[in-house]
Amino acid sequence: MARYNVKETESRWQQRWSEAGCFEVEADPGKPKYYVLEMFPYPSGRIHMGHVRNYTLGDVVARYKKAKGFNVLHPMGWDAFGLPAENAAIERGVHPAGWTRENIEAMREQLRGMGLSYDWRREVATCDPSYYRHEQKMFLDFLKAGLAYRKESWVNWDPVENTVLANEQVIDGRGWRSGALVEKRKLSQWFLRITHYAQDLLDALEGLERWPDKVRLMQHNWIGRSEGARVRFELVGRDDVLEIFTTRPDTLFGASFCAVSANHPLVAEFAEKDPALAAFVAECNRSSTSEADIETAEKKGYLTPLRVRHPFRDGVTLPVYVANFVLMEYGTGAIFGCPAHDQRDLDFARKYELPVIPVVLPPKADPAAFAVGDEAYVGPGTIYNSDFLDGMEVEAAKAAVAERLTAIGRGEGTITWRLRDWGVSRQRYWGCPIPIIHCESCGPVPVPEDQLPVTLPQDVDFDSPGNPLDRHPSWKHTTCPSCGADARRETDTFDTFFESSWYFARFADAQAETAFGRAEADYWLPVDQYIGGVEHAVLHLLYSRFFTRALRDCGYLGIAEPFAGLVTQGMVCHETYKGPDGKWLYPSEVAKGDGGATVTVDGGKPVTVGRVEKMSKSKRNTVDPANIIDAYGADTARLFMLSDSPPERDLEWTEAGVDGAWRYLNRLWRAITESDIALPPPGTPKPTELSPAAEQAWRACHKTILGVADAIERFRFNTAVAQIRELTNLLFALDGKGAGEAWVLRFGWETAVRLLAPMMPHVAEELWVRLGHTTMLAETPWPDADPALAEDETVTIAVQINGKLRATIEVAKDTGKDALIEQALGHPNVQKQLDGKQPRKVIAVPNKIVNLVA
RNA sequence: GCGGGCGUGGCGGAAUUGGUAGACGCGCCGGACUCAAAAUCCGGUUCUGGUGACAGAGUGUCGGUUCGAGUCCGACCGCCCGCACCA
């Protein structure tokens, strides 16, 4: 019998599925639907192991749900706008459009080689005007609905490249390519009013029951609702006020300073007259816009000549600092500092020698002795040193302050969100043009809908600094749709999160002339199971949730939540290797030498084996899926991806593990195709007599069918594989001689092959045919199981003495407490351990345990 | 810095969610087949002691709750992810 021919078999079945249109689906209100979606990839040129893992997980679910009778939508597309295409243009002189198109072609072929059950007719590429035209319309609708607006905000500016830099392109305060010191610059940009839905986005998290708790918690914290108060401090010697936001109005009597952001309007005024202040502001503006950098940077302040009056204490004034840790984007861009009860304020106060006045007394502390040292007290307690608040608990004091502030017109209680509106403007070429025209007299005017889409010009160059759209000789010149005067197109493009915020809806009706048909969207949405990396836990998922609400309110959709179920997969990792010269080596460049040591393939030089880390080009610890699929086939790669780790955890790719998967596939192949045991024809009724081994295997089949289904439903694919291996281990051991064994072998192999079909679809189809079937497994329902047969008749009960295992007893299922205790006490080892003594207490739990307390 | 997660044999992991820790696999050891090797097949494999039945220890560390803790609570240590212009 011929060996299993991977390449021929896999491509043949891929072709058959495609020709039969197995995975092409239409909305059918008469059938229950299931929408499986994996996060679509950026077309970087080649698929990587992260993709293989993600798409294998999705494919198992899609094929399984189809076998379970669902009308399964499983689409794939390309998140095709983004920076790497522009970088390729700059570094290699290729056009982003051509580069992207070629990458898509190459990656589509790779995905096809994995045998994924996509409805390819629904493929979309977001850089295609037939896709992005719809989001231009959406943006205009958002504008009408008041969900989009324009305001100034700060960006990282590279003065040499004349371009805005992403945080990741700023390395140690310098542009990654130019090396120039990066500055902050204020630009007028478009924003989407995600904060309009802040409360709803927060509240609705509770209803997302099939989302991981950790993702819901991360979103909860990201939205960051905080109740507090605005306080308007009168500025000494001026008519205006300084408005601050605080979450701790109860500590107002402990205030010893105010601090404002370097970009606060008040600061500009003083910086003009004070070169040192101007220098400090400039320094702040040179630092990163990233929150992580701001928070970890040394806290610095600059004392202004301004002072503010304390709202409750006549004659008391506080100094005003400019501080590098106060964000203009949060609250009012100004704070008051209470060093005794906030660590950052305390550090600041110690540095600038400001008073530290405790106003919250910890429970049971002595007011005369309590003092704050290097650690601020942030716990609960009773207010003191605080006039009318004295004796109140923290929460009551917060309310009392808000009330008093309102009464004297100096502030009020308020809610602030950490969540900021979503800035969608990007000063880049390779993105969706923002459909706006700027007119000197009319201001920003929407492009009329009949002139959509606004398409990107093809003839651009990346040779000189700045945004190619802005530099283009003619593209931006147009006339005002409103007054007809000469006008200028918006040259910014959308953030690429814009495209990914609604693609799941486009897939419901990918060929539609509109964004998508309402009936199609109503049928398919929401996505029943969404699968992708944890790195998207906050931004992409939150933006999509926002977008769905905004689309609902603009009449596109009837739902608020796009993803009913979510699984976030872990990363694919690999060992790292360094050669004698200290340079990183690819796994393909090293091998196990004679003594078991790791050496270079080329020359046998010693290799240092490093830690297991996320696969990355920089550490060269990547394995190209193309090589694996070429050598072992897609089924083996898929099986290994599923069997070694649960999806949400990191997966370590090992050559040995892949070999193991490969050996299993071949073992199964040989057992079915090369066996001497003649199996009865398909459909032969079960014989009445079964040998004990046959009976056991038969029952195991039923148990495994239920167990594997349960494991797949719960995303425990590794245990699903383990259960199938247990079953096949039983089958490998049958010699076919006992009564009914040949029949059980047929039943067992058919069961195993059907259970494996979602995971290793090609070899499963091929074995199904070898077992004498003419149907396709892709169209075959999930096997039926008899729950009664899956139940064991006896259970093993652990017998403990003082919590230590001393014996096990085998009893009939559901044996009562008294019988359990009697049997346990009768066990020789138990008697030996008890040594004639009576247990003081006996705990017996049927089907589980007996614990004797001696 | 803030937020989130993870930690179990030599390794990846399993454990019906408070009830026999180590399923399944990898690796290793022993055996069969072979002139030999590879492949394959069979057996063993948490650690310590014991020929053995068994006994002791054991789920990052320390403490707690419980008849019983990998699982619950508190403190700590280590590693990983996110932090708004990477996608």
Closest C1' nucleotide to A156's CA: B85
Average pLDDT over every residue of A173-199: 90
What is the predicted pLDDT for the residue at A739? 84
Average pLDDT over every residue of A600-606: 81
Closest C1' nucleotide to A656's CA: B26
Of A145-159, A608-622, A687-701, minimum mean pLDDT range? A608-622
Concatenated DSSP letters of A462-526: -SSSS-HHHH-SSTTEEE-TTT-SEEEE---EE-THHHHTTHHHHGGGTT-SSS--HHHHHHHPS
Q: What is the distance between the alpha carbons of residues A541 and A192, in angstroms, rounded to a whole number?
A: 15
User: Can you read off the two tokens belonging to residue A659?
Assistant: 């070999």
What is the predicted pLDDT for the residue at A254? 92
The size of chain A, in residues, is: 854
Q: Of the ranges A353-367, A739-753, A798-812, which is most confident?
A: A739-753
Top-confidence residue, A15 or A213: A15
Show the 3-state SS of A533-581. Answer: EHHHCCHHHHHHHHHHHHHHHCCCCCCCCCECEEEEECCEEEEEEECCC
Q: Which residue is nearest to nucleotide B24 (CA to C1')?
A: A722
Q: What is the distance between the alpha carbons of residues A242 and A331, in angstroms, rounded to a whole number?
A: 12
Strand A477-479 and strand A33-38: the pairing is unpaired
Please, which pLDDT band fits residue A611 given cuts at 50, 70 and 90?
Answer: confident
What is the predicted pLDDT for the residue at A485? 93
Q: Quote the percentage of chain A above a pLDDT of 90.
A: 63
What is the predicted pLDDT for the residue at A680? 93
Q: Are A197 and A204 in contact (CB under 8 A)?
A: no
Spatial CA neighbour of A843 closest among A799, A795, A796: A799
Return the amino acid letter for A14: Q
User: Can you read off the two tokens belonging to residue A774?
Assistant: 């003419």
Q: What is the distance between the alpha carbons of residues A192 and A553, in angstroms, rounded to a whole number?
A: 14
User: Can you read off the two tokens belonging to residue A699?
Assistant: 């029952």
Whole-number Cα distances in Å, A286 to A168, A174, A180, A182: 15, 9, 11, 6
Task: Please write the tens of the pLDDT for every residue from A802-852.
Answer: 888 988 888 888 888 888 998 888 888 888 887 777 888 899 998 899 998
Counting Cα atoms < 13 Å in the Cβ hemisphere of A176 gives 9
The residues of A between 519 and 548 with beta carbon within 7 Å of nucleic strand B are 534-540
User: Can you read off the two tokens belonging to residue A766?
Assistant: 């091929």
What is the predicted pLDDT for the residue at A815? 87
Q: What is the distance between the alpha carbons of residues A727 and A699, in angstroms, rounded to a whole number?
A: 10
Q: Is the CB of A292 under 7 A from strand B?
A: yes
Task: Please write the tens of the pLDDT for every residue from A775-796.
Answer: 999 999 999 999 988 888 888 8
Handedness of CA A647, A652, A654, A657 (dihedral sign): negative
Of A359-373, A423-437, A695-709, minimum mean pLDDT range? A359-373
- Give the single-character DSSP code of A210: B
How does A737-766 read in b/e, with b if 16+ C-beta sit within 10 Å?
ebbbbbbbbbbbbbbbbbbbbbbbbbbbbb
Spatial CA neighbour of A494 closest among A419, A421, A422: A422
Q: Which residue is nearest to nucleotide B54 (CA to C1')?
A: A829
The residues of A between 46 and 75 with beta carbon within 7 Å of nucleic strand B are none
Number of helices (H) and strands (E) in chain A: give both, helices first. 27, 35
Peptide bond into A828 cis (omega under 30): no
What is the predicted pLDDT for the residue at A213? 87
Return the amino acid letter for A369: A
Please, which pLDDT band fits residue A715 given cuts at 50, 70 and 90?
Answer: very high
Residue A54, Cβ neighbours under 10 Å: how many? 24
Q: Is the CB of A304 under 7 A from strand B?
A: no
What is the predicted pLDDT for the residue at A594? 62
Q: Is A686 annotated as a binding residue?
A: no
Q: Are A134 and A40 in contact (CB under 8 A)?
A: no
* Beta bridge mates, A494: A425
User: Is pLDDT at A37 greater than 50 in this prediction?
Assistant: yes
Average pLDDT over every residue of A421-437: 95
Q: What is the distance between the alpha carbons of residues A710 and A389, in angstroms, rounded to a whole number?
A: 58
What is the predicted pLDDT for the residue at A291? 83
User: Can you read off the two tokens belonging to residue A191?
Assistant: 């924003």
Closest C1' nucleotide to A500's CA: B87
Average pLDDT over every residue of A540-560: 96
The residues of A between 330 and 349 with beta carbon within 7 Å of nucleic strand B are 343
Task: Please write the tens of the pLDDT for every residue from A255-272.
Answer: 999 999 988 888 888 888
What is the predicted pLDDT for the residue at A2? 59
How many Å from the CA of A679 to C1' of B39? Answer: 27
Average pLDDT over every residue of A353-374: 86
What is the predicted pLDDT for the residue at A596? 64
How many Å from the CA of A375 to C1' of B74? Answer: 21
Q: Please state the ipTM of this predicted complex.
A: 0.94
Q: Are A364 and A324 in contact (CB under 8 A)?
A: no
Strand A33-38 and strand A529-533: the pairing is parallel
Q: Is the CB of A716 under 7 A from strand B?
A: yes
Spatial CA neighbour of A35 closest among A69, A67, A60, A71: A71
Model pTM score? 0.93
What is the predicted pLDDT for the residue at A595? 61
Q: Is the CB of A824 under 7 A from strand B?
A: no
Q: What is the distance between the alpha carbons of residues A374 and A350, in angstroms, rounded to a whole number?
A: 9
Please, which pLDDT band fits residue A1 given cuts at 50, 70 and 90?
Answer: very low
Return the amino acid letter for A397: A
Closest C1' nucleotide to A79's CA: B87
Spatial CA neighbour of A348 closest among A319, A380, A316, A382: A319
How many Å from the CA of A645 to C1' of B8? Answer: 14
What is the predicted pLDDT for the residue at A592? 75
Task: Please write the tens of the pLDDT for every residue from A469-520.
Answer: 998 999 999 999 999 999 999 999 999 999 999 999 999 999 999 999 999 9
Q: What is the distance between the alpha carbons of residues A634 and A627, in angstroms, rounded to a whole number?
A: 10
Top-confidence residue, A678 or A753: A753
| Nucleotides of strand B within 7 Å of the protein's CB atoms | 1-6, 11-16, 19-21, 23-27, 39-42, 54-57, 67-69, 80-87
Q: What is the distance between the alpha carbons of residues A436 and A458, in angstroms, rounded to a whole number?
A: 19
Q: Are A417 and A198 in contact (CB under 8 A)?
A: yes
The residues of A between 167 and 186 with beta carbon within 7 Å of nucleic strand B are 167-169
Alpha helices in A287-383 (DSSP H): 291-296, 343-351
Average pLDDT over every residue of A344-373: 87
User: Can you read off the two tokens belonging to residue A153?
Assistant: 């905000």
Q: What is the distance between the alpha carbons of residues A273 and A262, in angstroms, rounded to a whole number?
A: 15
Show the 3-state SS of A94-147. Answer: CCHHHHHHHHHHHHHHHHHCCCCCCCHHHCCECCCHHHHHHHHHHHHHHHHCCC
Mean pLDDT, chain A, whole residue set: 91
Closest C1' nucleotide to A655's CA: B26
Average pLDDT over every residue of A4-21: 95
User: Is pLDDT at A764 greater than 80 in this prediction?
Assistant: yes
Of A24-33, A77-86, A211-220, A363-372, minimum mean pLDDT range? A363-372
Q: Which residue is nearest to nucleotide B26 (CA to C1')?
A: A657
Closest C1' nucleotide to A84's CA: B86
Task: Please write the tens of the pLDDT for every residue from A320-336.
Answer: 999 988 888 888 889 99
The residues of A between 112 and 131 with beta carbon within 7 Å of nucleic strand B are none
